[in-house]
């Protein structure tokens, strides 16, 4: 992971050697131990521009992979991802509203604040619609999430097409497709803390997730309060997704692809899948971001476009694999 971060930081319109990146970062971390002979320009590019962006990409990739793993276990659907709970559509509506209307009540944090608020409100709506008799079933959760996502996406599209300024429309569309450009160090703190705490909690619930993935009956026989656990984990997944989407925009397919790839490597035990998925997701999105900012220089391709180009074929392959497995059982 460290090698990927350092290598990714050195790649860009202005290429910086791997060893030089090490020296620049090392001098900032321990100036008394590592000589600071680098130029001021290289130091600014590495420390102020690229490093926070690459680290945020790692955090977002890890978070999406972890949440995708948990959601697939909770709803017992290998094709599920966190966006089915409506969080992304809510965040998109909040962010686009701020962009199009030019609202800045919280200064530079107005966009991320509006996106997170939209994500929370969308999840609350989905949760209330999915709740029946004090319980939340996986089927109702999926159906409510799809309905709310469709409605909020329609509203978001209407707001975008009503905008008069082309630059505003471009900014809104770029955010909707995901991106990490302009990342600042303060934007890393909250996502990193939420990811760390959430991942630790999910790993501690690995045994319960294993039981849930098998079936509710199995979980109940093991003494697990299924309804309470589902509420806790769905709420946690919504929180993590909302925080990540608020700083990176909508980035699809990571939460779908990475958990499946990791299960091929380490099996289905969530106590192993979750930490490995976090690592693989972080490395994956770091290099997708490198491709996004270099493949069409000087134009930057939205990360969501890159992940969709990779994820769509993977999704089709996964569907064919599911069909083949179903046919094998008959």
Per-residue buried b or exposed e for 227-246, using 16+ beta carbons within 10 Å of the residue's own CB: eebbbebbebbbbbbbbbbb
What average pLDDT does range 84-112 have in this prediction?
84
> Residue 122 and residue 71: Cα distance in Å, rounded?
17
Chain-centroid distance, C-alpha 262: 16
**What confidence tens digit (pLDDT) does each residue in 198-220 have?**
999 999 999 999 988 887 787 88
The structure tokens 């990475």 sit at 258
Look up the CATH number of domain 2-324.
Answer: 1.10.3470.10
Assign 3-class secondary structure to 92-119. HHHHHHHHHHCCCCCHHHHHHHHHHHHH
Asked if 187 and 247 touch (Cβ cutoff 8 Å), the reply is yes
How many residues can be counted in the chain? Answer: 330
Q: Does 323 have pLDDT greater than 70?
A: no
Domain regions of the chain by residue span:
2-324
| Predicted confidence (pLDDT) per residue in 117-138, tens digit | 888 898 888 888 888 777 777 7
Choose the weakest-confidence range: 21-30, 49-58, 96-105, 146-155.
21-30
44 contacts 35 by C-beta, under 8 angstroms: no
Nearest to 206 by CA among 195, 217, 219, 196: 219
Residue 297 has pLDDT above 70, yes or no: yes
């Amino acid at each position: 992971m460290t090698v990927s971060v350092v290598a990714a930081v050195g790649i860009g319109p202005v290429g910086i050697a791997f060893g030089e990146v090490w020296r620049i970062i090392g001098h900032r971390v321990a100036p008394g131990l590592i000589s600071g002979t680098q130029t001021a320009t290289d130091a600014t590019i590495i420390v102020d521009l690229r490093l926070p962006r690459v680290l945020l990409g790692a955090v977002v990739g890890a978070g999406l992979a972890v949440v995708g793993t948990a959601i697939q276990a909770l709803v017992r659907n290998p094709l599920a991802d966190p966006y089915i709970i409506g969080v992304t559509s809510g965040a998109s509506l909040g962010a686009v509203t701020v962009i199009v209307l030019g609202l800045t009540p919280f200064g530079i944090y107005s966009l991320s604040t509006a996106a997170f608020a939209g994500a929370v409100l969308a999840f609350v709506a989905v949760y209330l619609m999915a709740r029946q008799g004090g319980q939340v079933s996986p089927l109702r959760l999926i159906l409510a999430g799809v309905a709310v996502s469709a409605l909020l996406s329609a509203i978001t599209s209407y707001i975008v097409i009503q905008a008069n300024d082309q630059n505003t429309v471009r900014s809104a569309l770029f955010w909707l497709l995901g991106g990490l450009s302009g990342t600042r160090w303060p934007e890393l703190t909250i996502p990193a803390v939420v990811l760390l705490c959430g991942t630790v909690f999910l790993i501690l619930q690995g045994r319960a997730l294993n039981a849930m993935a098998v079936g509710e009956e199995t979980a109940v026989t093991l003494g697990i309060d299924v309804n309470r656990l589902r509420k806790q984990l769905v709420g946690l997944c919504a929180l993590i997704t909302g925080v990540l989407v608020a700083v990176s925009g909508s980035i699809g397919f990571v939460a779908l692809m990475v958990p499946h790839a990791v299960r091929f490597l380490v099996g289905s035990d969530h106590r192993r899948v979750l930490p490995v998925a976090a690592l693989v997701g972080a490395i994956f999105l770091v290099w997708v971001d490198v491709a996004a900012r270099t493949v069409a220089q000087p134009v930057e391709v939205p990360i969501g476009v890159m992940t969709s180009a990779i994820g769509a074929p993977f999704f089709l392959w996964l569907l064919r694999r599911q069909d083949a497995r179903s046919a094998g059982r008959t």
